[in-house]
Amino acid sequence: MSQSSGHWGGLHPSVHVDAAVDDVDALVDRFEIFEALHHQQTICNPMTSDELDQVIEALEFAPGSRLLDIACGSGELMFRTAERVAVDATGLDLSPWMLNAAASRHETRALTVGAELSWVLCEAKTWAVDTPFDVVTCLGADWIWHGTKGTIAAMVERLGDGGRLAIGSPRLHFDADPGTASEQFGALDTAADIERMLKSQRLEILERVDPDDEGWDGYMERCVANAQEWLKRYPGEFGEKLLAEAQEWAAVRERDREIIGWSVWVARRRD
């Protein structure tokens, strides 16, 4: 029996399921841990509300822009953009839980007249793109294309001439000693490494947003608090396991806080 069978209510009717997705129930089970850690969060990565706004402003959306948000989560970047300007935005995610949250919030957010938002349950790397987008974003999911370099290349493939992208990626902490970090963790991309990756794809870097420890610590605290609330709602061995996972995440973050940082780069395609 599915661990989630007692509290999964089914997929929101406005979520489109890509033809390549053949087992939604398996995804419900797979992503319940992320739901347990994120269900009361709107920003599901280590950045503050002001920092997310800074990224959106740097993207300079024009009315009618087509936005592709890869690993959109509960849709906060899309909502905040659509509250500013009439965009045509598509959010991709592989978590049915996250897309349910996004679709439900869509019913209550006051968006700019003419803004259109849609939600697709899919593997982003196999989702067919017929027409390039004006803006492509991926904040915190560069594992989809096996690392930052591959994700940047995939985003550029989906971006029209002169379009803009925003990518959030782990990097070596600015204060870390590269030699010590390499001994403990192996090779870690520095900010300079990632900027070279962007430039190799003919991208002009417009802005870099560097969340500090406040953003990281707040994110970890919210993850643990969410897992505690999940266990209260759904007591039992599985909920206890999810809470232990959240606490382990926080412990790993504390261990690595002087080694691993995270930034968002905003860049423009130069063709």
User: Please, which pLDDT band fits residue 4 given cuts at 50, 70 and 90?
Assistant: low
Q: Give the span between the Cα atoms of 73 and 98, in whole angstroms.
A: 5
pLDDT for res 9: 87
The residue-averaged pLDDT of 107-135 equals 95
pLDDT digits (tens, 9 = 90+) for 200-254: 999 999 999 998 888 888 899 999 999 999 999 999 998 999 999 999 999 998 9
User: Please, which pLDDT band fits residue 6 given cuts at 50, 70 and 90?
Assistant: low
What pTM did the predictor assign?
Answer: 0.94
User: Is residue 198 scored above 60 in pLDDT?
Assistant: yes
Q: Give the span between the Cα atoms of 197 and 191, in whole angstroms.
A: 10
191-200 and 148-157 helices cross at what angle (nearest 10)?
A: 30
* CA nearest neighbour of 3 among 240, 222, 224: 240
Q: Give the span between the Cα atoms of 268 and 164, in whole angstroms.
A: 4
Cβ atoms of 191 and 263 closer than 8 Å: yes
- Considering only 57-61, 155-159, 216-220, which range has the smallest mean pLDDT? 216-220
pLDDT for res 1: 35
- Considering only 8-12, 179-183, 209-213, 236-240, which range has the smallest mean pLDDT? 179-183
Alpha carbon separation from 144 to 40, 45, 94 (Å, rounded): 24, 16, 11
Cβ atoms of 266 and 165 closer than 8 Å: yes
Q: Give the span between the Cα atoms of 93 and 139, in whole angstroms.
A: 12
What is the spatial order of strands in the sheet that 133-139 belongs to? 15-17, 116-121, 88-93, 66-70, 133-139, 159-172, 260-269, 203-209
Question: Average per-residue pLDDT in the chain?
Answer: 92
Q: Point out which residues pair with 139 in neighbouring strands.
A: 168
Q: Give the span between the Cα atoms of 225 and 212, in whole angstroms.
A: 20
User: Is residue 188 scored above 90 in pLDDT?
Assistant: no
Structure tokens at 239: 């909920």
Structure tokens at 43: 């920003």
Structure tokens at 66: 């087509």
Give me the domains of the chain, ranges plus CATH numbers: 15-21+49-212+260-269 (3.40.50.150)
Q: Give the span between the Cα atoms of 240 and 228, in whole angstroms.
A: 9
User: Please, which pLDDT band fits residue 256 given cuts at 50, 70 and 90?
Assistant: confident
User: Is residue 182 scored above 90 in pLDDT?
Assistant: no
Q: Give the span between the Cα atoms of 192 and 110, in whole angstroms.
A: 39
User: Please, which pLDDT band fits residue 72 given cuts at 50, 70 and 90?
Assistant: very high
pLDDT for res 235: 93
